[in-house]
Structure 1
Amino acid sequence: MFSWASEAQGALEAMMYAHVDARAFPCVGAKAAMARGTLQVLACRAIDSAWDDVRIHDGLLHFASAYRDDPGLYRSFAVVFEGPGTLDEAGFEAALWARVQSLSDKDVWRGQEYDARVSPDPANPHFSLSFGGEAFFIVGLHPHASRPARRFARPAMVFNLHDQFETLRADGKYESMREKIMVRDEALAGSRNPMLARHGEASEARQYSGRVVDEGWSPPFAYGGSGK
Structure 2
Amino acid sequence: MTTDTRTQAPAESAMLPATPDMPEHHSLETTLEMLAGMDLAHASEADVVRGMELMVTHAEFPCLGAKSVFRRGSVAHVVLDDMADPDVPARLLERLQAFAAEIEGEGGFHSFIATFRGPLPTSEAAFESSLFDLLQRLHDADDESWADGVGSDPNDPHFAFSAGGSAYFIVGLHPAASRVARRAPLPTLVFNPHEQFEELRAEGRFDGMRTTIRRRDEDLQGFINPMVADHGDSTEALQYSGRRHAAGWEPPLDVKPAPDADGLDAKTDATTDDDINEHIDTRQGNRNDDLAGCPAQHD
TM-score (structure 2 length as normaliser): 0.70
Match of residue 100 from structure 1: 135
The answer to whether the 8 Å contact 2:113/2:191 transfers is yes
Please state whether the residue corresponding to 1:40 is helix, strand or coil: strand
Please state whether the residue corresponding to 1:117 is helix, strand or coil: coil
Distance in 2 separating the partners of 1:197 and 1:165: 19
2:100 partner amino acid = A
Distance in 2 separating the partners of 1:199 and 1:185: 16
Deviates more, 1:138-147 or 1:56-65: 56-65
Q: CA deviation at 1:169?
A: 1.0
Distance in 2 separating the partners of 1:128 and 1:198: 18
Q: CA deviation at 1:5?
A: 5.1
Q: CA deviation at 1:119?
A: 0.6
Cα RMSD of the aligned pairs, angstroms, is: 1.9
The answer to whether the 8 Å contact 2:3/2:78 transfers is no
Match of residue 52 from structure 2: 16
The answer to whether the 8 Å contact 2:121/2:174 transfers is no
Match of residue 122 from structure 1: 154
Match of residue 50 from structure 1: 86
Which ranges of structure 2 fall in alignment gaps of 5 or more residues?
5-42, 259-265, 268-299
Please state whether the residue corresponding to 1:17 is helix, strand or coil: helix
Match of residue 173 from structure 1: 205
Summarize the Cα distance change of 1:123–1:92 in structure 2 as closer, same or farther, 3 Å threshold. Answer: same
Summarize the Cα distance change of 1:41–1:156 in structure 2 as closer, same or farther, 3 Å threshold. Answer: same
Q: Does 1:206 align with 2:241?
A: no
* Alignment map for 1:156-167 (pairs within 5 Å): 156-167=188-199
Match of residue 185 from structure 2: 153
Deviates more, 1:204-213 or 1:6-15: 6-15
Distance in 2 separating the partners of 1:213 and 1:114: 26
Max Rg structure: 2
The answer to whether the 8 Å contact 1:64/1:133 transfers is no
Distance in 1 separating the partners of 2:122 and 2:136: 19
Deviates more, 1:50-59 or 1:192-201: 192-201
Summarize the Cα distance change of 1:200–1:126 in structure 2 as closer, same or farther, 3 Å threshold. Answer: farther
Match of residue 223 from structure 2: 191
Summarize the Cα distance change of 1:137–1:5 in structure 2 as closer, same or farther, 3 Å threshold. Answer: closer
Q: Deviations over 1:122-163 (max 9, x none)?
A: 111000011122110001000010111111110000000011
Name the structure where helix makes up a greater proportion of residues: 1
1:125 partner amino acid = P
1:58 partner amino acid = E
Q: CA deviation at 1:15?
A: 1.1
The answer to whether the 8 Å contact 2:151/2:160 transfers is yes
Distance in 1 separating the partners of 2:210 and 2:86: 33
Q: CA deviation at 1:53?
A: 2.0
Distance in 2 separating the partners of 1:199 and 1:81: 28
Match of residue 72 from structure 1: 107
Q: 1:222 aligns with which of 240, 254, 272?
A: 254
Q: CA deviation at 1:18?
A: 1.3
What's the % identity of the aligned pairs? 41
Summarize the Cα distance change of 1:184–1:212 in structure 2 as closer, same or farther, 3 Å threshold. Answer: same
Match of residue 132 from structure 1: 164
Distance in 1 separating the partners of 2:232 and 2:162: 16
Match of residue 274 from structure 2: none
Please state whether the residue corresponding to 1:46 is helix, strand or coil: coil
Size of the alignment, in residue pairs? 222
Q: CA deviation at 1:64?
A: 1.4
Please state whether the residue corresponding to 2:224 is helix, strand or coil: coil
Q: CA deviation at 1:200?
A: 6.8
Match of residue 69 from structure 2: 33
2:86 partner amino acid = A
The answer to whether the 8 Å contact 1:126/1:199 transfers is no
Q: CA deviation at 1:48?
A: 3.6
Q: CA deviation at 1:11?
A: 2.1
Deviates more, 1:193-202 or 1:165-174: 193-202
Which ranges of structure 1 fall in alignment gaps of 5 or more residues?
none
Deviates more, 1:196-205 or 1:89-98: 196-205
Summarize the Cα distance change of 1:182–1:50 in structure 2 as closer, same or farther, 3 Å threshold. Answer: farther
